[in-house]
Copies of this chain bind each other. A is one copy, B any other.
Amino acid sequence: VNLLLLEPGELQPDGRARLADGRATHLRTVLKVAPGHQLRAGVLDGPLGVATVESNEGDAVDLRCAFEPAAPPAPRVDLLLALPRPKVMRRLWAQLAALGVGRVVLTNAARVERHYFDTHVLTPACYRPLLVEGLQQARDTRLPRVTVHRQFRILVEDELDGLVARGVRLVAHPGAGPRPAEALAGGRAARVLLAIGPEGGWNDFELRLLHERGFGAVGIGARTLRSDTACVALLALVHDALRTCD
């Protein structure tokens, strides 16, 4: 683990925390911590800091934490994603959190199969631990917000403006459009909302509706990628382009 993440409720007002779950087991058996051992820690949606082991007797590990005054900034990219197959979606959660996504908006589309929505992969009990795993990997505390939408048109026409903060809107479509760096060049974009379609692509109606709602096309070349590969590739390119805008 690159970062030990604590829930806000686990922390005493004086910065102490007692762990007695899998994290404690990991600290004792893998990291073999002793009193005085220091490790990177963070509070979910809160600041990063350092945890010092005070004692590790019995099953519990007692920590005293010192945190930075403020939480790290939230990721500047939000994702509007046509729901992929459950197996692919399951693999994506930790990777999305690791790459940095403020909000994950999962949507139906013409080429999404309805039964994908019935999977337990869309329950917080399944995806929250995977998101936390991704944050620990990337040393971030900002948990992506997740919403699931079964009606594409209602989502895009009525709900999207309220869900995501104003910013540049991009829609990825195989082959078409400028590179993300070109689409964002010179704009000093504060935030980006990136839309990624289903395996078969968005259909014409969906593309038109997205364009009407301000989404500009981006492409990453001629190769058609699986949803999870496309998400990781495009998020890397958009984050990279945003870094050069600063």
Q: How far is the CA of A179 from the CA of B140 in the complex (A)?
A: 21
Q: Which of B2, B100, B224, B233 contacts A232 (CB 8 A)?
A: B233
Contacts of A233 in B (CB 8 A): 99, 232-233, 235-236
Chain A contacts to B: CB under 8 angstroms? 2, 91, 94-95, 98-100, 137-140, 179-181, 220-226, 228-229, 232-237, 239-240, 243-244
Inter-chain contact A137/B224, CB cutoff 8 Å: yes
Q: How far is the CA of A240 from the CA of B182 in the complex (A)?
A: 11
Inter-chain contact B223/A140, CB cutoff 8 Å: yes
Q: How many copies altogether?
A: 2
Q: How far is the CA of A243 from the CA of B225 in the complex (A)?
A: 17
Inter-chain contact B240/A98, CB cutoff 8 Å: no
Inter-chain contact B98/A225, CB cutoff 8 Å: yes
Q: How far is the CA of A236 from the CA of B138 in the complex (A)?
A: 19
Smallest CB separation, A112 vs chain B (Å): 17
Q: How far is the CA of A225 from the CA of B95 in the complex (A)?
A: 8
Q: How far is the CA of A98 from the CA of B231 in the complex (A)?
A: 13
Closest A-B pairs by Cβ, 6 of them: A233-B236, A138-B223, A232-B232, A95-B229, A236-B236, A2-B224
Question: Which of chain B's residues has its CB closest to A96's CB?
Answer: B229
Inter-chain contact B239/A221, CB cutoff 8 Å: yes
Contacts of A137 in B (CB 8 A): 224-226
Contacts of A222 in B (CB 8 A): 139
Inter-chain contact A236/B232, CB cutoff 8 Å: yes
